[in-house]
Amino acid sequence: MSLYNFKKIMVVPTAKDFIDITLSKTQRKTPTVVHKHYQIHRIRHFYMRKVKFTQQSYHDRLSQILTDFPKLDDIHPFYADLMNVLYDKDHYKLALGQINIAKNLIDNVAKDYVRLMKYGDSLYRCKQLKRAALGRMCTIVKRQKSSLEYLEQVRQHLSRLPSIDPNTRTLLLCGYPNVGKSSFINKVTRADVDVQPYAFTTKSLFVGHMDYRYLRWQVVDTPGILDHPLENRNTIEMQAITALAHLRAAVLYVMDVSEQCGHNLQQQLDLFNSIRPLFANKPLIIVANKCDVKMIAELSEEDQKIFADLTAEGIIVIETSTLTEEGVMKVKTEACDRLLVHRVDNKMKGKKVHDVLNRLHLAMPAKRDEKDRPPFIPEGALTRKKTMDVDEPKRKTERDLEIEMGDDYILDLQKYWDLMNEEEKTDIVPEVWEGHNIADYIDPEIMKKLELLEQEEELKEKAGEYDSDEESEDEEMQEIRVLAKQIREKKQLLVATSKEKDIHGPRMPRTTTKVERAKLEKEMGGLGLDMTDKDDSHYAQNARRSRSVTKKRKRDVSVVPTSKTRSQSASRPPRDQSGLRDATMVKKAKIMMKIGQRDMIRQGKKGEGDRHIYDLKPKHLFSGKRTNGTNDRR
Amino acid sequence: MRIEKCYFCSGPVYPGHGMMFVRNDCKSFRFCRSKCHKNFKKKRNPRKTRWTKAFRKASGKELTVDNALEFEKRRNMPVKYNRAIWDKTVEAMKRVEEIKRKRQARFIMNRLKKGKLLEKEEAITEVKKNIHLIRAPHAGKAKQLEAKMVQKLQEDVDMADEDL
């Protein structure tokens, strides 16, 4: 029904946006290229298409708006009245009417210009016609700016209206402002309406839902009504009146016994009487709220008389307190029951009932003996029904406990565990030991298995498996190990010393270096020989005799003996003298050598093969003007 | 709370550590650290990666079949808490752990025995071949010769005395 359509109304664009959208759509969705030299029918067709396309877009959108918005005559009178109250029926109809007119105008414009286009004889003429057509259509829409804005606002507000089903079971709360209607609905349903000490906190209708006897009930909270004639009422109060007038509901007229709302009982009674005609066919209950502050019995005589009168007329008065929750359930059950009875009565009076009644048939089995077979109702169901009626909390919930204990409350779910021994509920259960999960070891037969294992262990130990097998090695073997270790160390030492030697250039054989006597004696001593007192040993004597006994071979006088070491044999002359006859030749050879090296040394080269260029692009050769001259030097 | 096993290295994954990867075939893999995770992503086989427990067990470097290892098994039905059972289990766990360690150590020791023999042989050959690096061949011989000569002389003298 119209209930949910309110939310599905499409957005109404502003006039400017509407024009922009449609024109850009026309540009995108129709062909854009046309030339002067095309055939005239093609040019005409091109521009006609544009005009018709624009007209089509506008038409579609405007029709959609017209169909989306609800027609006040077609929807439920409650919503019609509500919309009238909120948006003013006349203004609404007018706005929609304007849109309709605009749509028709646009269609006419398009028709006219398409007709004219048939007589366009050049590209320029057709183009101008198209321009004119589109321009006129856009102007029409621009004139509708205010209507479109108004409709957009209406749409937004409509979509936010509470979804009240006018046909289902409803309880309606009414009364002065601040009497406790919103508190009531908060208590009875899951709604969360604002409750504040100032009047007119509730400014529109609110809906809450509750369950009773397996049925869904709506509870409608209204803004407070003040006592003045209908014409003087403002929009907010009118909403309440509309609800009262159109919804077939049980009416709960809430009165404030303690007069905290700011109006005394007489005023409240006057209001009641003035809106009484609205309660014509509806079950009525008077809710005397705020009885925790003041009971009816504590009131003065006249006030009590008021209530007595009301009861005498047959209207039920129930005392409640939304603060302490006493009487709230009573009101609920009473109102719901009476409404149900009322609705059933209405249905019975109607026409459709007979169809339903004809279809229902209760089959009663024939009694075969006198034994009484009553229906079986399990005990749990009976107790539950009782608690449902009384509506008291069955058991203490954790939440109640939490509220009771305040800051001391700790949530302890272990107390609900179902264990064999009750004392073990508070145990701290170990889960892990030394990197193993205890849960992996749990086994009903673990002790038996352990026993078997222990037996195995014993056997193994007896068999000697766990004896430490370090056979004490005999002395010889130990000595061998020590020696082997020393040998390995010595080897490593030799390798290390040979790596340390800094060898650049040609290696001299070992025999070229002179062996020092002290070094020889130290090494041999390290190897185990006795080196004390070796003055008259062969090598010591040789060392003393060396100078006087060395033999030199006879050479030519011109050759100067230059050998310094004993190991070089005298027959091999040094290289800078081999092949030279006499001193002059030697001199010449020397000069030649020096000449050959001159260039190298001057250029600072390391040797004849050194071709490295330190500075590939010296700045002084590459800068400055290149006039007549050379670049090798500047 | 459970201590899981890493899929790659079979090490313990404590709560709050490591990563879990769930594949499209609903198999989940837990890793103790990014090293294992990265190796897994490189598609390496844990049975061939030498530092993992899987390799060690697969190549016989560690004890695989033993009764002491049968105690720890993942059970899918949780057991209701009962203090007596838990106490017994914890004690049994400790004892089983002792025995397990002893056996594992024994297994490894047995494996390494061969190496010890080879070491011995090597020492002997080393000494035989390279003794010259630390000892000169006739190191103590001079003194021995002297001692022998002295002894001989002594004997000669004695004999001479006897003759007389």
What ipTM was reported for this prediction?
A: 0.80
Confidence of residue A11 (pLDDT cuts 50, 70, 90): very high
Q: How far apart are CA A623 and CA A80, in angstroms?
A: 97
Query: What residues does CATH 3.40.50.300 cover in chain A?
Result: 170-351
Instruction: Choose from A56-65, A327-336, A567-576 the range with maximum mean pLDDT.
Output: A56-65
Relative to beta strand A250-256, strand A284-289 is: parallel
Residue-averaged pLDDT of chain A = 86
Exposure string over A343-368, b if 16+ CB within 10 A, otherwise e: eeeeeeeeeeeeeeeeeeeeeeeeee
SS3 string, A607-623, reads CCCCCCCCCCCCHHHHC
Confidence of residue A310 (pLDDT cuts 50, 70, 90): confident
The yes-or-no verdict on residue A595 having pLDDT over 50 is yes
Nearest to A291 by CA among A275, A307, A315: A307
For chain B, the farthest-separated pair of C-alpha atoms sits apart, in whole angstroms, at: 114
Global pTM? 0.47
Q: What percent of chain A has pLDDT over 90?
A: 30
A190 and A224 Cβ atoms separated by less than 8 Å = no
The yes-or-no verdict on residue A507 having pLDDT over 50 is yes
pLDDT tens-digit profile of B8-59?
999 999 999 999 999 999 999 999 999 999 999 999 999 999 999 999 999 9
pLDDT tens-digit profile of A425-437?
888 999 999 999 9
Window A:435-454, CB contacts with B under 8 Å: 435-444, 446-447, 449-450, 452-454
The yes-or-no verdict on residue A561 having pLDDT over 60 is no
Q: How far apart are CA A491 and CA A489, in angstroms?
A: 5
Nearest to A57 by CA among A18, A94, A96, A31: A18
Nearest by CB to B127, which of A457, A484, A527? Answer: A484
A604 Ramachandran zone, left/alpha/beta (phi>0; psi -120 to 50): left
Residue B88 and residue A447: Cβ atoms within 8 Å?
yes
Q: How far apart are CA B129 and CA B135, in angstroms?
A: 12
The yes-or-no verdict on residue A574 having pLDDT over 90 is no
The yes-or-no verdict on residue A553 having pLDDT over 90 is no
- Residue A453: what pLDDT? 92
Q: What percent of chain A has pLDDT over 70?
A: 94
A211 and A182 Cβ atoms separated by less than 8 Å = no
Window B:112-141, CB contacts with A under 8 Å: 113, 120, 122-124, 126-127, 130-131, 133-136, 138-140
- Residue A307: what pLDDT? 83
- Residue A4: what pLDDT? 59
pLDDT tens-digit profile of A508-522?
787 888 888 888 889
Q: Which long-range contacts (CB under 8 A, 24 or more apart) does A96-102 make?
A: A96/A66, A96/A69, A96/A151, A98/A144, A98/A147, A99/A62, A99/A65, A99/A66, A99/A144, A99/A147, A99/A148, A99/A151, A100/A62, A100/A66, A102/A62, A102/A140, A102/A141, A102/A143, A102/A144
Higher-confidence residue of B162 and B57: namely: B57
pLDDT tens-digit profile of A66-103?
999 988 888 888 888 888 888 889 999 999 999 999 99
The yes-or-no verdict on residue A548 having pLDDT over 60 is no
- Residue A1: what pLDDT? 45
pLDDT tens-digit profile of B90-104?
999 999 999 999 999
The yes-or-no verdict on residue A398 having pLDDT over 80 is yes
Collapsing DSSP to helix, strand or coil, A352 comes out as coil
Percent helix, strand, coil in chain A, to 5, is 55, 5, 40
Residue B67 and residue A439: Cβ atoms within 8 Å?
no
CATH number of A170-351: 3.40.50.300
Collapsing DSSP to helix, strand or coil, A433 comes out as strand
The CATH fold assigned to A15-160 is: Four Helix Bundle (Hemerythrin (Met), subunit A) (1.20.120)
CB distance from B76 to chain A under 8 Å? no
Confidence of residue A390 (pLDDT cuts 50, 70, 90): low
A472 by Cβ neighbours in 10 Å (0-12 / 13-18 / 19+) ranks as exposed
Average pLDDT over residues A326-341: 87
Window A:511-570, CB contacts with B under 8 Å: 524, 527-530
Nearest to B96 by CA among A456, A431, A430, A463: A456
The yes-or-no verdict on residue A28 having pLDDT over 80 is yes
Distance between A546 CA and the closest CA of chain B, angstroms: 28
Residue A490 and residue B133: Cβ atoms within 8 Å?
yes
Contacts of A550 (CB under 8 A, 6+ apart): A566
Q: Look up residue A474 and give its DSSP letter.
A: P
Contacts of A539 (CB under 8 A, 6+ apart): A517, A520
Query: What residues does CATH 1.20.120.1190 cover in chain A?
Result: 15-160
Confidence of residue A256 (pLDDT cuts 50, 70, 90): confident
Q: With contacts defined as CB-CB under 8 Å, which chain A residues touch B130?
A: 487, 491
Strand stretches in chain B, DSSP E = 4-5, 12-13, 19-22, 28-31
Main-chain dihedrals φ then ψ at residue A256, nearest 5 degrees: -105, 105
Residue B143 and residue A530: Cβ atoms within 8 Å?
yes
- Residue B151: what pLDDT? 92
Higher-confidence residue of A244 and A496: namely: A496
Residue-averaged pLDDT of chain B = 92
Compute CA distances B102 → A161, A440, A469, B60, whole Å.
Answer: 80, 21, 15, 17
Domain B1-61 top-level CATH class: mainly beta
A228 and A188 Cβ atoms separated by less than 8 Å = no
